Homo-oligomer: A and B are copies of this chain.
Amino acid sequence: MQIIKRISPARFLVIGFAFIILLGTALLMLPISTNEGVWLSPLDALFTATSAVCVTGLVVFDTANTFNVFGRTIIALLIQIGGLGISSVGVGFIILAGKKVTFRERKVVKEALNLDSMKGIVRIVKSVFLMTLLFEGIGAIINFFVFIKDYPPLKAVGVSVFHSISAFNNAGFDVFGNFSSLTGYQDNVLLNLNTSGLIIFGGLGFFVLMDIIEKRSFRRLTLHSKIVLFMTSLLIFSGMMLFKVTEKISWLGAFFQSVTTRTAGFNTYSISIDDFSKAGLFIIMVLMFIGASPGSTGGGIKTTTAFTLFKSAYSMSTNKHCMAFKRRIPNDIVMKAFVITFLSMSLIIFDTIIISIFEPHFTFNQILFEVISAFATVGLSTGITPELSAVSRVIIIITMFTGRLGPLTMASIWYNKPESNISYSEENITIG
């Protein structure tokens, strides 16, 4: 137990996520999880479990064709645990059991949720659970009105709940069969809007949701919430306009594609994302890379990070402080934003080179797209996922995992030594 206590919160999270993924892998490999005649290799099961826990939605097998109701329930649970975060789920169980949450556990939650302090962590975890239940409940009820037309009642309930969990947690898994995602409901306004709503609220992050519920006024919101709301609106709007310019797509389609692209990974446009134009595919890659907001179920470098990059580039070009909504963004935050972006880029570039060597038959574009989608836990694909070789699958698994936990968290787990006390003098170098 002494060893466990000395593990850093970052390492604790990595181990916790890995444990849930391995548990999920074992469960999905059981014969009671899959449809008759289907057999899942350990690597395929690991891929599916990682994709679910990391709320990515990349699949090597179609979910509905492969898994029976039991298997789908496992996947929904993995998505829910992954979306809430392993630490929140853990603390939730402790609270449910009526036990006291220790200092150590609070510290892990603080790390996992990117919190500033450890104040009110129990209250926060309770709110997170309540909000999840509320959003997913309402989402499932609205879904039911759509799916009752296509499925028998009991099945419709299952599909509605699964789709609500998958949408709110930005997972992008679907149970419509044959890799079809939402293409069968391309023009269903109610389902498009309900799904979009779940994705957007899930992608804002719980602090922003709590902040809005508490303050009820934009001006009184924290700087963080203001930036998240500003960036989310801006990205949804710009994405929609860009897709409208580059693709032959309806306004509803362009809106939905813009919402889903940044992290959810559902698809109404066409079964193959390859049908997008070159410019459209590249816009998707950029939107995926930016992703959702911190403390949410979504991935990417995050909206606040992208905002900080733009703002600090602007402020350096104009020789000003890095400002936002009449507040200064601290220098160490700006630096963190750049380092996260750099680590993310480096990972994507490294992966793309390696996979390019192992998959000579796919285009560069398809591989880059797949890697960004995995990193940003989006789950859109040009269709190459099921055909990836074992090496590439392992790389995609590691990438989903790194993307979900954050590249900086992953980089920091390798190093635990305190800083040495030798101090060195500064010396300028020329840059650029």
Contacts and interface: CB of A to CB of B under 8 A. Distances in A.
A282 interface: yes
Interface residues of A, number: 84
Given A302-B432, A342-B338, A317 B427 contact: no
A224 B430 contact: yes
B282 A431 contact: no
Interface in A369-424: 406-408, 411-412, 414-415, 417, 419-420, 424
A323 B420 CA distance: 12
A270 interface: no
A432 B432 CA distance: 26
Interface string A310-328: 0011001111110110111
A40 B320 CA distance: 45
A324 B424 CA distance: 10
Nearest to A283: B353
A415 B294 contact: no
A294 B432 CA distance: 6
A318 B412 CA distance: 6
A328 B428 CA distance: 9
Nearest to A282: B353
A341 B341 CA distance: 11
A32 B343 CA distance: 53
Nearest to A307: B429
Contacts of A317: 339, 343, 408, 411-412, 414-415
Contacts of A223: 427-429
Given A309-B342, A424-B321, A431 B331 contact: no
B343 A279 contact: no
Nearest to A369: B364
Contacts of A420: 320
A360 to B, nearest CB: 7
A429 B327 CA distance: 10
Contact of A363 (B224, B343, B365, B417): B365
Given A305-B431, A338-B335, A429-B308, A343 B313 contact: yes
B431 A353 contact: no
A356 interface: yes
Contacts of A207: 430
Given A282-B353, A432-B340, A316 B427 contact: no
A305 B339 contact: no
Q: Give 9 nearest A-B pairs by CB, closest first.
A: A338-B338, A317-B411, A279-B356, A340-B432, A318-B415, A327-B427, A294-B430, A223-B427, A278-B356
19 contacts: A245-B357, A278-B360, A282-B353, A286-B349, A294-B430, A294-B431, A295-B430, A313-B346, A316-B336, A317-B408, A318-B417, A327-B426, A328-B426, A329-B426, A331-B331, A340-B431, A340-B432, A364-B365, A407-B432
Given A309-B342, A320-B419, A331-B331, 20 more contacts: A116-B428, A278-B356, A278-B364, A286-B349, A302-B432, A304-B431, A305-B431, A312-B338, A316-B336, A316-B408, A317-B414, A319-B415, A327-B424, A328-B426, A328-B427, A333-B431, A335-B338, A338-B338, A338-B339, A406-B432
